[in-house]
Amino acid sequence: MRRSTVLLSLALTTSVLAAGCAAPGARAAPRREKPVTDSTDFSRSAAGEKISAEELDEITNAFADRYRTLMEDAVAAIVKNNPDARARATAQRFLVESTTSAYDIVTNGDPFSQVLDLNIMVTLTSQVWIDDDRATREFGPERAESLVYSLRQAREEIWRIASRVFLPDQLAALDFMIASWRRDNRGVEDTSFVRFDDFAEQRGEGLIRDVASGGGLFQPLNQAIDESVAYRKLGERIFYLAKRMPTLANWQTQAFADEMLAKEETKRALANLDGVSRSVESLGATVTQLASDVPKIVAEERTAIFAEIDRRQKDIDSALGQVNAIAGDAAKAAADARAIAEGVSPMLGDAQKTLEAAQPTLDAIQKLAETSERLLGKVAEIKGPPVPPDLNAPPAKPFDIADYQKMLGDATVALGEANTLLKNADSLAGSKSVKGLIDEVTQATEQRIESLEHMVTRVVYLVGAIAAGVVMLAFALLFAYRATGARAGARSTKGGAA
């Protein structure tokens, strides 16, 4: 297992601790950072100044973060308001793979290999997406620009870093080596995890041996301090990656979601297509079936309609009876009201008005009754006498729309009558006179009850007052009796003494 893979595993276990540093889902705001190298790098390399392993390690770590920012900005621009689910998924997958690759490289223990692999990875990636024009093919010319810009920027920066490690001729050789790999691997587009080890060994071993052993601008680690530095760097690398792991995990999740979304859309489109096909097939079958079944269906429907009319007639009869009862009750109520009005005219001064108001209600009830009778007459006319179903009868004649024209006209008239009935019933229920009548009766009853209660209260008060008076009189008589008794006793005592 590669050392970087072990580090990745360790980092995963510690990522929970590091979550406070970079919470999952906390997407960094797009920003432009200062490049990790500047123009002084060329002058330093030109002067032959060697770079230490520790310094190079710091630079490559900083570059990995810089690379992540550049790619994140580019992908954010690509996916923003992008309706193409496949393009979004491709961009998100690119972000995850390229960034994970950069972090995988910089957690390698050897800074020289780091810069070499970073250089190869970034250069190949930029060549695939820019030189081979994959960015335009995947995202279109406008959205591709952000990725082209970011990859170009990253490539310039990593070559600046490389120029601090390699001499110009060595840089040219490295460039040639990468170009040769591309020629040998035409069509390979997933280059994020191509490493120097994947190159033909004989082409690069001299270059590596020369530069890694100090033949270029790289100052190898002193063997005496190599072990202690390696252990310290190991710990640093674990925490370095652990801090970034939540973000990577978040992107990985997003990439997975985007890919699923893209697949789901495809599935849905296929499902819709199947649905349309099924609908067309179903429609065709229905039309065929209908053509053969129409006469039978019409006969069955006719029987069902008359059965329904029979059932409805019972309901209508019941409703008519209720209406008649209401009408009777209403007449009785009117008579009662009239009696009340006559009997309690002093107390109900406007009974006459109530009686007058009830008259339209009575008219409406009468009209309702007449309408109901007409409707029943129509139904009976349409239906004719009920005929029990004959199981031995020959099949009904084929459907003929002319047979239903008259029935349709009669049914329309019946429907109009039914509407009138409903309107009259509504009119009755909402009639002002009925409401007024009910209110008057209620009011009269309440007044009578109130009057009775008042009378009872007065009697109770009167009886109470009389009782109180009797009690007081009794007490007065008792007091007078005692006083008289006491005075009589005193006189007898004085008389005895004398």
Partner 1 sequence: MNIALIVSGMLAVNALSGTAQDGTTPPDRSTGAATSAEQAVADQDAAADVQVNDVDASPYPRFIEDRSIKGTVRCVGSSSVGLMLNTVRTAIRDAQPGIELIVESSGSGAGPKALAEGKADLALMSRAMRPAEIAEIEKARGAKVGYVDMAVDAIAICVNRANPTTRISLKDLDRVFGRERRRGGGPAVVWGDVGVRDTKLSGARIELFGMGPGTGSNGIVSEIVLDGGPFRTSVNEEPVASSVVQAVATDPLAIGYCSSYFEAARVRQLEVEALDGSGFVAPTEANIRSGRYPLARSMRIYYVDDPKAFSPAARQFLRFLVSEDGQELIADMGQKALGPEQAHHHFDKLK
- Taking CA 200 as the corner, what is the angle to CA 216 and CA 64, rounded to the nearest 5 degrees? 60
Write down the residue that tokens 């040639």 correspond to: 176
Beta carbon of residue 67, minimum distance to partner 1 (angstroms, whole number): 16
Q: List the one residue from 18, 36, 148, 357 that touches partner 1 (CB under 8 A).
A: 148
Measured from the CB atom, is 205 or 426 closer to partner 1? 205
Please tell me whether residue 386 adopts helix, strand or coil conformation: coil
Q: Please give the structure tokens belonging to residue 210.
A: 């020369």
User: By C-beta, is 48 or 388 nearer to partner 1?
Assistant: 48
Helix (H, G, I), strand (E, B) or coil at 392: coil
177 vs 309 by CB, closer to partner 1: 177
Cα separations in angstroms, 178 against 115, 129, 162: 14, 15, 14
Q: Confirm or reject binding of residue 193 to partner 1 (CB under 8 A).
A: no
CA distance 124 to 179: 9
- Candidates 6-14, 31-39, 169-177, 389-397; binding stretch for partner 1 (CB under 8 A): 169-177
Q: Is the torsion defined by CA of 58, 59, 62, 63 positive or negative?
A: negative
Between 176 and 231, CB nearer to partner 1: 176
Residue from 31, 32, 34, 183 touching partner 1 (CB under 8 A): that is 183
Query: Taking the complex as a whole, how short is the minimal distance between the CB of residue 63 and partner 1, in angstroms?
Result: 15
Q: Is 152 in the site for partner 1 (CB under 8 A)?
A: yes
Q: Is 185 a residue that touches partner 1 (CB under 8 A)? A: no
How many residues does the structure list for the chain? Answer: 498
Q: Residue 395 is which amino acid?
A: P
Q: Are 120 and 196 a contacting pair, CB within 8 Å?
A: yes
Interaction between residue 199 and partner 1 (CB under 8 A): no
Per CB under 8 A, does 155 bind partner 1?
yes
User: For 77-104, what is the HEC assignment?
Assistant: HHHCCCCCHHHHHHHHHHHHHHHHHHHH
156 binds partner 1 (CB under 8 A): yes
Please report whether residue 160 would count as binding partner 1 according to CB under 8 A: yes
Site residues for partner 1, 92-121, by CB under 8 A, read none
Which string of b and e fits 423-452 if b means at least 16 CB within 10 Å?
ebbebbeebebbebbeebbeebeeeeeeee
Kindly state whether residue 131 participates in binding partner 1, applying the rule CB under 8 A.
yes
Name residue 353's amino acid: K
CB of 137 to partner 1, least distance (A): 10
145 or 410: CB nearest partner 1 = 145
Between CA 340 and CA 358 the distance in angstroms is 14
Nearer to partner 1, 128 or 355 (CB): 128
CB of 170 to partner 1, least distance (A): 5
**In 10 A of CB 51, how many CB atoms?**
21
Piece of 196-204, 258-266, 408-416, 465-473 that binds partner 1 (CB under 8 A): 196-204
Q: 53-79 and 111-126 helices cross at what angle (nearest 10)? A: 30
> Strand runs (DSSP E) across 223-324, as ranges?
none
Query: Does residue 127 touch partner 1 according to CB under 8 A?
Result: yes
- Interacting stretch for partner 1, rule CB under 8 A, among 5-13, 106-114, 176-184, 489-497? 176-184
Judged by CB under 8 A, the residue of 62, 106, 121, 173 near partner 1 is: 173
CB of 41 to partner 1, least distance (A): 10
- The rounded distance, in Å, linking the Cα atoms of 21 and 16 is 10
Using CB under 8 A as the criterion, which residues of the chain lie in contact with partner 1 when the complex forms? 123, 126-127, 130-133, 148-149, 152, 155-156, 159-160, 162-163, 167-180, 183, 200, 202-207, 210, 215
